């Protein structure tokens, strides 16, 4: 009898008994990929617990969103039809007892894609709004905005380009087994391209306070709650410069439950104030996104994050966004 099945079984058992030291109740990195929001490169939710001094945490996130919006109000008209894929390389480094430095560097692709049919079926199954997919052609690309008859942007050809680099500095205000609080400062560097809608070509600065609390339940499982509140300044840049709201606020609130040491389910709300002066929801309304997913420990130092994001405030974000993230602790 061959020993291969027994060897395979032993490997599986070994994997299931690995310590999940890499597991953490970190917030989901929710991104609003609406093209006019993406160019502002708003900071994502950051954890209240910083990297251990001397260690590095690297991650690669893939965010995919489908757009299907045709809207007008007063003298404004916007068309967002297409797909956006963002690959973000991030790094965090514990520097001293209370400091952390890092960066997020995105690569942005706007294209025609092929998810319209799948997403329509997704929304029909869950009874969710389907945007304007029934009146727009499938798998097309058209990002266009007109104000009082003047066309202020128009993208109809697929693009691949670097997005805006974000530099990060964090300070650990307090940390203990049950609770932690940290202050996060980020600077948006205009490395993106306004013509390709991968960046605003304007600078930005934001400051946020993050807090979390972990709870050991009576049945031996673990739960956690986390949240944050931030604000920032945005330079006008080269996209809708006359309408940019130079000051914006954002917040996040989440909860997680870990039934096993290698798995956690997470639910998170992200909100931010309007980024533009406009009567259109896509530009001038507060955005609220619900993210549903979780984290899986693939080993002692490696995590896989998966989540699906829905626009709770309809039309202020893509109607569905999928994210796959892989992180590793060095």
Domain residue limits at 72: 30-329
Neighbour count for residue 127 (Cβ, 10 Å): 6
At 1, list the tokens.
């009898």
Residue 1 lies in a domain: no
Give the chain's domain count.
1
Which DSSP string do the residues of 145-204 spell out, in sequence order?
Answer: EEETTEEEEEE-S-EEEE--EEEEEEEEEEE-SSEEEEEEEEEEE--S-TTTTS--S--E
Q: Is residue 213 part of a domain?
A: yes
Residue 223, number of CB atoms within 10 A of its CB: 17
Which two structure tokens, joined as six digits, stand for 150? 């003047």
Distance CA 30, CA 185 (A): 18
Around Cβ 70, how many Cβ atoms within 10 Å? 16
Domain membership of residue 23 (yes or no) is: no
Whether 14 is covered by a domain: the verdict is no
Q: Evaluate whether residue 85 is within a structural domain.
A: yes
Report d(CA 183, CA 2) in Å as an integer. 57
Q: Could you list the pLDDT tens digit for every one of the 330 residues in the chain?
A: 344 433 433 343 343 333 333 357 899 999 999 999 999 978 899 999 999 999 999 999 999 998 988 999 989 999 999 999 999 999 999 998 899 999 999 999 999 877 766 766 766 776 666 566 666 777 789 999 999 999 999 999 999 999 999 999 999 999 999 999 999 999 999 999 999 999 999 999 999 999 999 999 988 899 999 999 999 999 999 999 999 999 999 999 999 999 988 899 999 999 999 999 999 999 999 999 999 999 999 988 999 999 999 999 988 999 889 999 999 999
- Structural domain contains residue 17: no
Contacts of 239 (CB under 8 A, 6+ apart): 36, 39, 152, 153, 194, 197, 200, 201
Whichever domain contains 153, its CATH number is: 2.40.160.40
Give the pLDDT of residue 14. 40
Q: Give the pLDDT of residue 4.
A: 42
pTM assigned to the model: 0.88
């Amino acid at each position: 009898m061959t020993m291969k099945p027994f060897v395979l079984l032993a490997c599986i058992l070994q994997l299931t008994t690995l310590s999940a030291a890499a597991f953490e109740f970190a917030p989901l990195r929710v991104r609003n990929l609406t093209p006019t929001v993406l160019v502002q490169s708003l900071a994502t939710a950051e954890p209240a617990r910083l990297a251990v001094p001397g260690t590095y945490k690297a991650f690669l996130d893939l965010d995919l969103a489908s757009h299907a919006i045709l809207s007008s109000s007063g003298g404004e008209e916007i068309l967002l039809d297409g797909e956006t894929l963002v690959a973000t390389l991030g790094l965090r480094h514990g520097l001293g007892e209370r400091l952390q430095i890092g960066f997020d560097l995105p690569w942005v692709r706007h294209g025609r894609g092929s998810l319209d049919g799948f997403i329509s079926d997704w929304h029909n199954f869950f009874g969710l709004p389907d945007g304007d997919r029934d009146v727009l052609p499938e798998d097309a690309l058209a990002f266009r905005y007109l104000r009082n008859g003047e066309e202020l942007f128009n993208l109809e050809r697929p693009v691949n380009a670097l997005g805006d680099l974000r530099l990060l500095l964090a300070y650990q205000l307090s940390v203990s087994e049950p609770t932690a609080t940290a202050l996060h400062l980020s600077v948006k560097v205009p490395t993106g391209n306004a013509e390709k809608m991968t960046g605003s070509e304007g600078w930005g600065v934001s400051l946020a306070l993050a807090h979390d609390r972990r709870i050991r339940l009576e049945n031996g499982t673990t739960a956690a709650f986390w949240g944050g509140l931030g604000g920032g300044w945005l330079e006008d840049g080269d996209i809708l410069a006359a309408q940019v709201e130079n000051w914006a606020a954002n917040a996040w609130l989440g909860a997680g439950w870990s039934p096993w040491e290698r798995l956690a389910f997470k639910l998170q709300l992200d909100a931010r104030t309007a980024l533009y002066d406009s009567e259109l929801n896509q530009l001038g309304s507060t955005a609220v996104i619900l993210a549903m997913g979780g984290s899986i420990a693939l080993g002692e130092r490696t995590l896989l994050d998966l989540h699906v994001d829905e626009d709770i405030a309809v039309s202020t974000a893509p109607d569905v966004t999928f994210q796959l993230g892989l992180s590793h602790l060095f």
